[in-house]
Structure 1
Amino acid sequence: MSRRPLLLIPMLSLVALLSACAGPMPQPDPSEAWIGLQEEAPNDLLAERVDGQKIDDGRYFQVKPGAHRLDVTLFEESIGDANQQDCDGHISYSAFKAGEHYKLVESSLGSEVSARLYDAKGKQVASTHDFACMPG
């Protein structure tokens, strides 16, 4: 028996497992604000907490209208290097609106890591420079 079919089975199992983990994004609740995350490749930005409360899905935030603090973790990969930094930061915004879509965008320049919050029109409404990074 050829080794090729034997290698194909584990590879297909891995693909199925990884696609199940990501799952489809839920539909936004129109009574809440939706905050999507955007990172620079090869980094990963994950949602952690809203107002100190742990959230279930690290791919986005949903919040009631008003003021909230969003805590995120950035897993920053160094290009051409096996080192990774884990960076924790937060951003606060006082005017989240029901049914609005926001985007939290990570930016890394040298050792500086920041994030900016944009509203649905692309206007920057909040930013942070308070990420604390540690080797991963």
Structure 2
Amino acid sequence: MTFKPLLLIPALGLVALLSACAGPMPQPDPGEAWIGLQEEAPNDLMAERVDGHKVDDGRYFQVKPGAHRLDVTLFEENVGDANQQDCNGHLSYGGFKAGEHYRLVESSLGTAVSARLYDAQGRQVASTHDFNCMPG
């Protein structure tokens, strides 16, 4: 009896799951603000919640104009170490504008983890509060 078909089923499930995450980005709604995420390699920064409500796609935020709280999770890979840290952080910004594109950029220096929000002109408009990191 061969076990190859049994191994193939979980592998196909994983491929399907990963391909769903890597699908094309939707078109931004011009009536909302778009917030893209940028992390340092090999880390992964994921969108989690807007104003306490879970987001549908962890690759970006899209919000109505005005004030919002954005919650993110950073999966921090330590170079040369198999351990991962999961870091949770948030930022609040009151000036989101319809049709504007923003970037939330992660930065890690040693054990300090932060992220800064930049507007379309490249100006920093907000930064995260302290990240809370735990071994993953």
- What TM-score do the two structures reach when normalised by structure 1? 0.87
Alignment partner of 1:26 is 2:26: yes
| Counterparts of 1:16 and 1:88, CA distance in 2 | 27
Q: 1:54 to 1:15 in 2, by over 3 A?
A: closer
Regions of 4+ moved over 6 Å: none
In the other structure, the counterpart of 2:96 is 96
Partner AA of 1:54 in structure 2: K
Following superposition of structure 1 onto structure 2, how do residues 56-135 of structure 1 map, counting pairs within 5 Å?
Answer: 56-135=56-135
Q: Is the Cα–Cα contact under 8 Å of residues 34 and 100 in structure 1 kept in the other structure?
A: yes
TM-superposed deviation, 1:20: 3.7
Q: How many residues align?
A: 127
1:14, distance to aligned residue in structure 2 (A): 8.1
Amino acid at match of 1:71: D
Aligned to 1:51: 51
TM superposition shift of 1:66: 0.2
Identity of aligned residues (%): 81
Shift of 1:124: 0.3
RMSD after superposition: 1.7
Note if contact 1:88-1:132 (Cα within 8 Å) is conserved in structure 2: yes
Cα contact 1:113–1:129 (8 A) shared by 2: no
- Tell me the secondary structure at the aligned position of residue 19 of structure 1: helix
Q: What letter matches 2:50 in structure 1?
A: V
Name stretches of at least 5 consecutive residues in structure 1 with no aligned partner: 1-5
Whole-angstrom CA distance in 1 between matches of 2:71 and 2:50: 6
In 1: Cα distance, 2:31 partner to 2:61 partner? 13
What TM-score comes out, normalization by structure 2 length?
0.87
Query: 1:40: how far off?
Result: 0.2
Secondary structure of the 1:98 match is coil
